[in-house]
């Protein structure tokens, strides 16, 4: 074997070894990330989530009782919004992807503009955003019913001024207890929220 070939073989082996080390580091980092997510603890209890009976984009009636036994994440938007709503929906889509492998987690979007956001409008909006109908609900109803959810129930937003809504996500456990409020503009919020939701789903909401 010529000296040049020896050098070439040695270089190839060195590159292969470095690639193997890098791959092992990536696996280790991913394992640590998943372990941290599994170990996430959600100890705060803000009281009961609101009861409601609203209409889903499919036209079917959905009640708070339908979500018992599920971990759910709520947000409030309106489809004509030119402010934070598109970004919040984009983040909900990312949560949908991040939690794809976690059973019993439901995303729940409430409109705050029910006069415009009919089930038909919400259906088109949800389809455009890639929302999975099995895991992501879009709910509408009367202004009074939606105020009861956002303002009286979750204690966010402004009564009588529904269109001025909160930009927080709300996490609810299997027992219908509010377990966290998450500022959608906070750095790293999606990772924390996804980890907390997964922990509640894994632990049965306890």
Note the pLDDT tens digit of each residue in 80-101: 999 899 999 999 999 999 999 9
Better pLDDT: 32 or 84? 84
Q: Please check whether residue 179 is in contact with residue 74, taking contact to mean a CB–CB distance below 8 angstroms.
A: no
Minimum mean pLDDT among 51-60, 71-80, 152-161: which range? 152-161
Asked if the model's pLDDT at residue 18 lies above 90, the reply is no
Q: Please check whether residue 77 is in contact with residue 122, taking contact to mean a CB–CB distance below 8 angstroms.
A: no
State the average pLDDT over residues 117-140. 98
Strand order in the sheet with 71-77: 61-63, 53-56, 136-140, 105-111, 71-77, 168-172, 178-183
Asked if the model's pLDDT at residue 153 lies above 90, the reply is yes
For residue 11 the two structure tokens come to 């270089």
């Amino acid at each position: 074997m010529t000296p040049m070939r020896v050098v070439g073989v040695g270089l190839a082996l060195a590159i292969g070894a470095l690639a193997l080390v890098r791959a092992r580091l990536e696996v280790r980092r991913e394992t640590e990330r998943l372990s941290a997510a599994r170990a996430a603890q959600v100890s705060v209890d803000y009281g009961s989530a609101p009861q409601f009976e609203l209409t889903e984009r499919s036209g079917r009636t959905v009640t708070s009782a339908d979500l018992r036994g599920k971990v759910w994440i709520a947000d409030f938007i309106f489809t004509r919004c030119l402010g934070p709503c598109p970004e919040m929906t984009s983040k909900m889509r990312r949560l949908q992807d991040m939690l794809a492998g976690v059973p019993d987690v439901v995303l729940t979007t409430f409109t705050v503009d029910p006069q415009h956001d009919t089930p038909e409008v919400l259906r088109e909006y949800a389809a455009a955003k890639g929302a999975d109908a099995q895991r992501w609900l879009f709910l509408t109803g009367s202004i009074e019913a939606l105020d009861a959810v956002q303002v009286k129930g979750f204690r966010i937003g402004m009564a009588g001024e529904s269109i001025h809504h909160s930009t927080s996500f709300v996490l609810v456990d299997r027992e219908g207890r509010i377990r966290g409020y998450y500022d959608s503009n906070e750095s790293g919020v999606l990772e924390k929220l996804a980890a907390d939701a997964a922990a509640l789903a894994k632990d049965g909401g306890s």
